[in-house]
Every structure is written in C-alpha cells, then in structure tokens.
Amino acid sequence: MIWNGARSRMIARRFCMKGLLTMARKIGFALVLAIAAAAGVFFFVVPSRVDRSLNKIVPHAPYEVSEEAQALHESLRLADLHDDALLWDRDFSKRQTRGHTDAPRLIEGGYRLQILAAVTKTPKNMNYDQNSGDTDNITLLTIAQRWPVKTWSSLAERALHIARRAHEAERRSSGAVAIIRSKEDLRERMEAEGLAVILATEGAHPLEGDLENIDRLYDAGYRVLGLQHFFDNELGGSLHGASHRGLTEFGRKAVAAAQEKGMIIDIAHSSEAVVRDVLAISSAPIIVSHTGLRGNCDSPRNLPDELMIETAAKGGLIGVGFWDGAVCDPSVPSIARAIAYAVDLVGADHVALGSDYDGATTVPFDASEAAALTQALLNEGLDAATIKAVMGETAIRFFEENLPEK
C-alpha cells in the first residue's frame, strides 16, 4: 500500500506537470496570437483609419456646374501649391478611396502641376495659437506605416524617404507623373500630358541644424523649402510657436544657401518676424504655399494683409487654402470669396491655389471635383482671364521663372 501510494502520487505529479505544460503552451500560443493580432491592427488598420479620420470631405450632393463653367474648366491648366498626400499609406499613382488626392483624381480634375510636401514632424495637441517642438505625432505614424527604422529618429531620413516614395509613384504611374527639378523639366512637361510634381518640405527641421542637409534634400529632388511648421525650429519662430522670433543666424544661412541652389522659400507657417526677415534678405521671390488672408478671414492661421502685399510686391506667390483655418468656412463659395479678395488685394499675377489637401484638413471637394471651384469663381464675378490665372497659369509661370535652369 505504501508503494502503491507513492507511485500514485508520482503519477499524479506527472499528470499535473503535463497539464501545466499543456496550459502554458496554450497560454503562450494565445499570447502569440494576441500579439500578432494587435500588430496586424497597428500596422495594417490604424494608418488607414487615422487617414480617414483626419482627411475628410464635407458631405455634399454632386456640385452643379454649368456648360459655361465646364467649358472654361476644360480649357484650364490647374496648379496647386500644397498637398500632403505623401505622408499617408497610399499609392499616389493609383486612385484611392480615401483622402483628397492622388494622381488619377488630380488629372481628372484638370491639374497639371502639384506641389507635394514632406510632413516630417507635428506636435501633440497641435493648434494655431502656441505649440512646443518637444513632442512628435509623426514618429508613431512612421512606425505604424512600416517606414525604414532610420526614419523613426531622423527627420532628415523621413524627408528622404518621402522623396523616394514620390519617385516610386512616378515609376509606377506609366508616365502620368513626372518629378520636376528644373525650368526645363517643367516646360517640357507642360507641352506633354500628365501631372508635374514639385517636392517641398513642410518646415526646414529636416535640416537638423546642418546646412549640408540642404544638398541632400536638393539631390533627392526637393525644390521648395518651407521654413517652419507648427513649432519653432533651428531656423526661427513659427506662426504657431512660443517664441515669435525672427530668423536665427542658422536660418539666415539656410535661406541664403537654399536660394543659391535655386530652391524656392515657403513661409506658409512662419512667424511674422521670420516673414519680415526673409523679405528683407531674400534674393528671389518667395511663396506662401497654403494660407488665407486675414482681412478676409480673421484666423490665427493667416498672416496680416500687409505681409501678403509685401510678398507680392517682391514677386511672390500666395496660395489660397480650402479649409476652415484659411477661409473660415470650408465651402466652395467661401474659397471663391477668399480668392477674389486676394485678387483685389495683390492682383491675379500673385494668387494661386494652396489647398492643403491631405493635410489633416476637411475640405468641400476632392481634386476630381475642381470644376465646382471654377463655377464658384464665375459666380463671384471673376472673368475668364482671371480665373485662368489663379487656377493655374500664375503658378506655372512662377515656377517656370524661378526653378533652377537645368
């Protein structure tokens, strides 16, 4: 009986250990499945949901476009100064079911030239009043979208990766998209069909305080250098930053070095002091790629009219935005009124479209529906020559005159 009892206890322990091992294996397998499922959601579901939640179109019935407006629209060459489509996990060369733009929708809408911007950093709780550069929303997005590991910690690498994505879209587009580096490139593209794309930075923080990175960005295809975004950086103050300072010494050197290479300076998010400093030292015309006009829409996103007048007086270009921060009411008539106001203020030779498409904005129409804006501009009383200028010809001429020669 003693032997039998000991053996029974030994057998019981074995069964117990076997049961525990089986349970551990099941728990481990379940844990692996849970981690895999969570990873799948993070990498393949979250990016598209974030994209859909931030880049919205105001619900609307099909816009009514008259025969007159449609005929005029079909004669236009549209150009837009600011689009953030390359930030998101989409193939720009193919038609998408989310967001505001892609090459097919832009071409369908009549666009011939689109500036695509590289967003490399945004602060948490981003607002128009005051932000710090201490936090960054884009890091998590780069990880979720499976960008190269080196982009997780380097803003320069993010900008270079975005440029590579643009060139990949160009290759996949079967000739529909061309990256423009020079006046010659643009002139040739305007004589052919398809969409011309110019690369821009949304803020110059990808320089990471090193002037040599201007050469890296230039070699990657960037031809527009935005100076600030929603926070102060090494070059100076943001319109939405804490310091409101002007250009730093590094900022002055960066502007000079970029312009020497033929890059165009964009002051869309720059502080008023930075804008004044740039206007004072600039050796070439500058742009405000996406904005409103404060006299039309008294928003903290918009610079004072006096700076718009001075920018235009020095040959610059002002891109009127499509979202509420720029025009107060994100509707087609409001955009048309803002454009008409800009034309009255600085003249059609200095006014362009600056949609801020795919920039975490809500807009009244996507790129394929641009004829609705042509109709609204006619309704606003603008003549065909003015509409032709602001919808694209002014911007095309500006870049034909100000890009590097070859």
Identify the band that residue 3 occupies on the pLDDT scale cut at 50, 70 and 90.
very low
The distance between the two most distant Cα atoms of the chain, rounded to a whole number of Å, is: 110
Q: Is the pLDDT of residue 8 over 60?
A: no
Q: Is residue 167 a contact partner of residue 389, using CB atoms and an 8 Å limit?
A: no
pLDDT level of residue 39 (50, 70, 90 thresholds): low
How far apart, in whole angstroms, are the C-alpha atoms of residue 70 and residue 391? 14
pLDDT-derived band at 14 (thresholds 50, 70, 90) equals low
pLDDT (tens digit per residue) in 65-90: 999 999 999 999 999 999 999 999 99
Task: Report pLDDT digits (tens) over 348-362.
Answer: 999 999 999 999 999
Instruction: Give the DSSP letter of residue 392.
Output: I
β 111-118/317-320 pair status:
unpaired
More confident site: 366 or 9: 366
State the pLDDT at residue 15. Answer: 55
What type of residue sits at position 73? Answer: H
Query: What CA–CA distance (Å, rounded) separates 177 from 170?
Result: 5
Confidence band for 406, pLDDT divided at 50, 70 and 90: confident
**336, amino acid identity:** A
Residue spans of beta strands (DSSP E) within 264-337? 264-266, 287-291, 317-320
**pLDDT tens digits along 280-311:** 999 999 999 999 999 999 999 999 999 999 99
Q: What number of other Cβ atoms are within 10 A of residue 187's Cβ?
A: 14
pLDDT for residue 27: 74
Question: Is 357 in a helix, a strand, or coil?
Answer: strand
In 292-381, beta strands by DSSP E: 317-320, 351-353, 362-363
Q: Please return the burial class of 100, using the count of CB atoms within 10 Å of its CB with bins 0-12, 13-18 and 19+.
A: buried
Q: What is the pLDDT of residue 89?
A: 95
- So what's the pLDDT on residue 34? 63
The contacts found for 299-303 with CB under 8 angstroms, 24 or more apart, are 299/128, 299/324, 299/325, 299/326, 299/328, 300/128, 300/129, 300/239, 300/240, 301/128, 301/239, 301/240, 301/325, 301/326, 302/326, 303/239, 303/272, 303/275
C-alpha dihedral, 327 to 329 to 331 to 336, nearest 10°: -30
Tokens (6 digits) for 298: 């008294």
Q: Please tell me whether residue 45 adopts helix, strand or coil conformation.
A: coil
Confidence at residue 6, expressed as pLDDT on a 0 to 100 scale: 61
Domain boundaries, the chain: 1-44, 61-402
Going by pLDDT thresholds of 50, 70 and 90, the confidence category of residue 239 is very high
Read off the pLDDT band of 21 (50, 70, 90). low
Q: Is residue 33 scored above 60 in pLDDT?
A: no
Reported as a pLDDT band with limits 50, 70 and 90, residue 394 is very high
179 pLDDT exceeds 60? yes
List the structure tokens of 146: 């499976």
The mean pLDDT of 315-344, rounded to a whole number, is 98
- Asked if 213 contacts 201 with a C-beta cutoff of 8 angstroms, the reply is no
Q: Give the other-Cβ count within 10 Å of 309's Cβ.
A: 15
Residue 384, pLDDT > 70, answer: yes
Whether the CB-CB separation of 377 and 390 falls below 8 Å is answered with yes
Number of H helices, E strands in the chain: 16, 11
CATH value of 61-402 in 3.20.20.140, 1.10.645.10, 3.30.390.50, 3.60.40.10: 3.20.20.140
Mean pLDDT of 369-381: 98
In the prediction, which pLDDT does 36 show? 60
Average pLDDT in the 253-273 region?
A: 98
